[in-house]
Amino acid sequence: MRLGAAWYPEHWPEEHWTEDVRLMREAGMNVSRIAEFAWSTMEPAEGQFNLDWLERAVSLLADNGIATVLGTPTAAPPAWLTQAHPTTLAVDEYGRRAQHGNRCHYCVNSPIYLDFCRQIVEAMAIRFGQNPHIIGWQLDNEYNRVCYCEECRREFQQFLKKRFDTIENLNQHWSTAYWSEAYNDWRQIPIPIGYHNPGLMLEWRRFITESYRRYQHQQIAILRRYIKPEVWITHNFMGWFDLFDHYEMAADLDLAAWDNYIGTGQLDYTANGAVHDLTRGLKRQNFWLMETQPGHVNWSSINNDLNHGAVRAMAWHAIGHGAEAVLYWQWRSALGGQEQYHGTLIGPDGKPRLLYQEIHQIGPDLSQAGDALSGTSPKAEVAMLHSYPDRWSVMWQKHHRDFDYIQHFIHYYRPLAERNIPVDVISDHASLDDYKLVIAPCLLILDDKLVESLTQFVKGGGHLILTLRTGMKDEYNALLPSRQPGPLSRLAGCRVEEYYALEKEVPLFSIWRDVERGNCSIWAERLEVGDEGHALASYAKSNGWLDNKAAVTMRDERAGRAYYVGTWLDETMQRSFMEFASDEAGVKPVMDSSKGVEVCRRVAEDGRTVYILINHSREPAQLDLPFSATNLFTQKALETPLDLEPNGVAVIAPAASDN
């Protein structure tokens, strides 16, 4: 297990470094990320590389038992480069070229920029590729820029030509007879600005993904020529950020990493856990938390601090969901620059801030529990399917101002998190083996492979939850020539007769257990129940179209079952339905706990199990442990009930007789 921070030695005179690193060691840190914005220091003029200072920084860290993750600095090109080659700067949708002095302001398809990136990455790789103190490399930093320049437009047109082969195929898939959009030359096709043809918009996002993947692969290929095989390569993604398809980007990386910030407010573990699980699902393995909020940020509407104890709880929350490392951004406040007010662990005077003591507690905790956690990862019987094309398509055509893909996703995730039921968030085309329950929120786009996968999962005994807007479109973002859920209608046991964006709440009643009454909002689909289907919930009197019509259906298929939820249930009914569905699928909570107490479980291949218990509430809590256990922080036996103070953490392992 790794604990560390992003450190920028280039910001400070070298005589300050020793004290910085001493304080890192004192806090129990064993890793530091450096250099990802240091291009102008490493190459102050074209072709003049200055890497001696960086080697001294890596050596100083190593002398203090701290490993290095080295960042390639390509997110922040130096002024000499952008001045001499202004076409390397990205162009926005209004035709304005980006200014120097930001970050990620490059054109990802600029041949000139790609060549300069190659040179700096190769210089670093030659110098540090065999350095024993560097355990990993981070590529660039938080890819996020879209460029609309002519170079990108030409590349996009070539991408479309390769994908569709003929212009006639493109016209057919995009229905370009609509509004006289038909093309007879690839050069006529624009980059979409604002809302545009749905097919064009979807291919543009696929092109952005391919562009960044090509950009990323260049750096990977260079590094792999020089670095040791055991040294890994990653990139720090940004959670739900959806400019590109993260599954495709992560495919070329050795491990996934992300940057976890709360911004305004406090940690909501029942939502934040979904992003950890999303990142873990990018490669179906544990991940790194490359940046974590160290108290407050500087970019939110209210840059409040996290409550006392919450930063420690947030670290263990991440570890409970599969984090192998927790790094903070950043170590020390810079005197200048755009992020002067961002939270840090060390002040601009070089002295620890109050939060340092909280980090100081995590280090010894990890030292004590690290061996038990080694080789473990979260194990789940529930999977939630996630798709970037579905997200893009829905959010471009919400049909209701309050329809939000992520909130809809969390609406299904939260009731499971509240009951301490682990979830894997995976690609909609990932294997469904070993799951008892699969939830597919808003599975808008269907193809034959996906339909077959879901059908075989249910036939094999799995329980499947399909939700509203499922099966509306094909892979080109065109409507299917069938009513929802299209080719999944028989499996779901229903057909959508019509859908309605709701102006106000609609009452409904359910019969999945006892008769329950509640409401739905935002979206409602009138379901025609098939011969083998059963209505589990129906709308009460509302707009006349929905009155007494099915809202939720169920159909059994061999040993499995499929549900179709055609509306957005209120929170009480959603909890009730999810409890019913998970119980029917035979899914059990990790451990029962009071409200606000999270229990995570990490399991090794040999069955060795570690439990992480976190009281996220502001009140003390007690847990009755279902087994005899050892406190891994103290290596002593625990008594039950276990007391947890507000934001308190316990990491425990079953006693040998109970394991």
For residues 263-273, b (16+ Cβ closer than 10 Å) or e, as one string? Answer: eeeebebbebb
Q: What is the DSSP letter of 1?
A: -
- Sign of the dihedral through C-alpha 470, 473, 479, 482: negative
In angstroms, the CA 400 to CA 211 distance is 32
For residues 546-562, b (16+ Cβ closer than 10 Å) or e, as one string? Answer: beebbbbbbbebeebbb
Which distant-in-sequence residues (6+ apart) come within 8 Å of 168 by Cβ?
A: none
| Phi, psi (deg, nearest 5) at residue 107 | -85, 120
Segments of 101-160 assigned E as strands: 134-138
Is 271 in contact with 228 (CB distance < 8 Å)?
A: no
Nearest to 24 by CA among 346, 369, 325, 371: 346
Q: Which residues are catalytic?
A: 142, 291
Q: DSSP alpha helices (H): ranges in 339-422? A: 356-373, 388-396, 405-418
In angstroms, the CA 479 to CA 482 distance is 8
Residue type, 485: P
Q: What's the token pair of residue 619?
A: 């009140």
Tell me the three state secondary structure of residue 40.
Answer: helix
Interhelix angle 198-224/388-396, nearest 10 degrees: 140
| Residue bearing tokens 């008892």 | 436
